[in-house]
Amino acid sequence: MVVIADPLLAWRKEFPILGHTTYMISHSLGAMPQRAAGRMQEFADTWASRGIRAWKEGWWEMPVTVGNLVGRIIGAGEGEVAMQQNVSICQSVVTSCFDWSRRRNKLLTDGLNFPSNDYVYHGLARWGARVETVASPDGLTLPVELLLDAIDEETQLVSVSHVAFRSSYVQDLAAIVERAHAVGAMVIADLYQSAGTVPVNVRDLQVDFATGGSVKWLCGGPGAGYLYVRRDLWDRLNPIATGWMAHEEPFAFEGGPIRFAGNAFRFLNGTPNVPALYSARSGYEIINEIGVAAIREKSIRQTTRLIELAEAAGLRVNTPRDPERRGGVVILDVPNGKQVTRELTRREVLVDYRPGAGIRVAPHFYSTDEELERTIGEICEIARTSAVENVT
Ligand SMILES: Cc1ncc(COP(=O)(O)O)c(C=O)c1O
């Protein structure tokens, strides 16, 4: 066996759960960095000792100061990312910026989008939006031409995931943005399954909006989503989904229609989720310290290895073979996948299962090669011995 020097393994000691678990589920919930516990304590101490003064001493600005840490990961400039609570809220904010009653009322989505996004879009039909979905021919991938052909002069917004949650398929964002802009449409990219594992640069790509959250590859825990909006669009966008933090002078407590702030605060709404912003910071700092390029290099090596191991064991792989088109997850179509996943959890091998795709297995920068072998070995053993039958 060839032993590969892997400097990223030095990070393992920062993640307590790795001491007793084979953690192959960072596409769903990234492992907690030990230092996040210190941050949460810092929140409690600040609240306890500074009380109301904490707002002026940092809390109020946190949606943007913490957003700057995410901005570095996704290629946004300082002050261009506003932290929200989750992607669903970000979708509501963005789509509420548009007038859906005009002729240009098409909202184009695709069959690989995350369902929560679709729920928001279909609700907009009540305001005149025409939601069109480009189906994925196999439920896992989507030839970019199909999407490009559906973008037309009546399209107001195109919504795609950079990396599909179900199959880890990487979409060609550059081509989609180019076509959308050519016909006067805008693009919102859901980066949840790419940021932190697949390099992405929102400014190079010229996406109009980008959103994502902290739960997965960013190891930031729940309650902190992010919204990037292209700076030159700010003045033109006035979200209906809003609140007093978006006001130019929130502490004037003016009634009547809002006067929007000139900066990224205009996309905020009510009181931010301050504890979540404390806990999320550590993960962002670690991802920035390592750099997504190094994470991606290791991810490609380990997902390639996982595919080799799976295929050698006769398992069907539902993930693109081309590393350029594959995110950080390998999906294995194993019979009784749901039950196998439950048994794996009982054995301290954490993965998850998605209907229509299979068992999702995701190494991250802290994973060892031995853990890849253990995961595939356990799956085969469970399938072979029908251990699933014993699981209720
Ligand atoms: C691509 C993608 N978008 C959105 C979400 C969910 O977003 P939220 O719960 O922050 O609204 C997920 C997963 O939970 C996801 O994988």
Q: Give the model confidence (pLDDT) of 224-243 as tens digits.
A: 999 999 999 999 999 999 99
Computed over every residue of the chain, the mean pLDDT equals: 96
What is the percent of the chain where pLDDT is above 70?
Answer: 98
Please state the atom number of ligand 1 nearest to the C-alpha of residue 225. 10
**pLDDT, position 350:** 98
pLDDT of residue 391: 47
Q: Comparing 102 with 392, which gets the higher pLDDT?
A: 102
Q: Which of 116, 188, 194, 214 to mutate to test the pocket of ligand 1 (most atoms within 8 A of CB)?
A: 116
Residues with CB under 6 Å of ligand 1 are 86-88, 114, 116, 161, 165, 190, 192-193, 213, 225
Contact present, 220 and 280 (Cβ < 8 Å): yes
pLDDT of residue 4: 76
Q: Is the dihedral of CA 383, 389, 391, 392 positive or negative?
A: positive
Give distance in angstroms: CA of 111 to centre of ligand 1: 15
Among 377, 322, 271, 367, which Cα is nearest to 18's? 367
DSSP strands (E only) in the chain: 22-23, 81-84, 106-110, 130-134, 155-161, 186-190, 209-213, 225-229, 316-317, 330-333, 349-350, 352-354, 358-361
Residue to mutate (ligand 1; options 114, 226, 352, 360; most atoms within 8 A of CB): 114
∠ CA 381-384-389, nearest 5°, is 100
- 115: CA distance to ligand 1 center in Å? 8
- Give the phi and the psi of residue 54 in degrees, each rounded to 5: -60, -30
Residue 344 has pLDDT above 70, yes or no: yes
Kindly state the DSSP code that residue 77 receives in the 8-state scheme. P
Q: How far is the CA of 114 from the centre of ligand 1 (A)?
A: 6
Dihedrals φ, ψ of 361, to 5°?
Answer: -120, 125
> Residue 176 — pLDDT band, cuts 50, 70, 90?
very high
Q: What is the pLDDT of residues 248-263, one digit of tens each?
A: 999 999 999 999 999 9
pLDDT for residue 387: 56
In this prediction, residues 281-294 reach a mean pLDDT of 98
In the reported structure, the alpha carbon of residue 193 is separated from the centroid of ligand 1 by a whole-number distance in angstroms of 8
Return the pLDDT at 147.
Answer: 98
Residue 357: its pLDDT value, please? 85
- Residue 385: pLDDT band (50, 70, 90) is confident
User: How much distance in Å is there from the Cα of 213 to the middle of ligand 1?
Assistant: 7
pLDDT of residue 2: 65
Q: What are phi and psi of 110, to 5 degrees?
A: -140, 170
Q: Rounded to 5 degrees, what angle do the CA atoms 263, 264, 267 make?
A: 120
How high is the pLDDT of residue 392? 42
Give the tens place of pLDDT for each residue, 194-227: 999 999 999 999 999 999 999 999 999 999 999 9
pLDDT level of residue 388 (50, 70, 90 thresholds):
low
Q: Which strands sit side by side in the sheet containing 81-84, from one edge to the other?
A: 81-84, 225-229, 209-213, 186-190, 155-161, 106-110, 130-134
Check pLDDT > 70 for residue 340: yes
Determine the Cα angle at 226 with ends 224 and 231, to 5°: 155
Look at residue 154 and tell me whether its pLDDT is greater than 70.
yes
Mean pLDDT of 350-356: 91
* Tens-digit pLDDT profile for residues 1-58: 667 789 999 999 999 999 999 999 999 999 999 999 999 999 999 999 999 999 999 9
**What integer pLDDT is reported at residue 356 of this predicted model?**
83
Determine the residue type at 151. Answer: I
Can you tell me the distance from the alpha carbon of 303 to that of 332, in angstroms, rounded to the nearest whole number?
Answer: 12
Q: What is the pLDDT of residue 354?
A: 87
CA 297 to ligand 1 center in whole angstroms? 24
Confidence bin at 386 (pLDDT 50/70/90): low
Closest atom of ligand 1 to 91 CA is 11
Query: Once rounded to an integer, what is the mean pLDDT over residues 181-193?
Result: 98
The label of the residue with tokens 């490609």 reads: 300
Is it the case that residue 300 has pLDDT exceeding 70?
A: yes
The pLDDT score that the predictor gives to residue 341 is 96
Distance (Å, whole) CA 318 – CA 69: 33
What is the pLDDT, as a whole number, of residue 389?
A: 53
Nearest Cα to Cα of residue 363 among 7, 1, 2, 9: 9
Determine contact, residues 340/388, Cβ cutoff 8 Å: yes
How many angstroms is it from 225 CA to the middle of ligand 1? 9
Atom of ligand 1 nearest to the CA of 213: 10
> Average pLDDT for residues 307-326, to the nearest whole number?
95
Distances (CA, A) of 183 to 59, 70, 121, 150, 391: 41, 30, 21, 11, 54
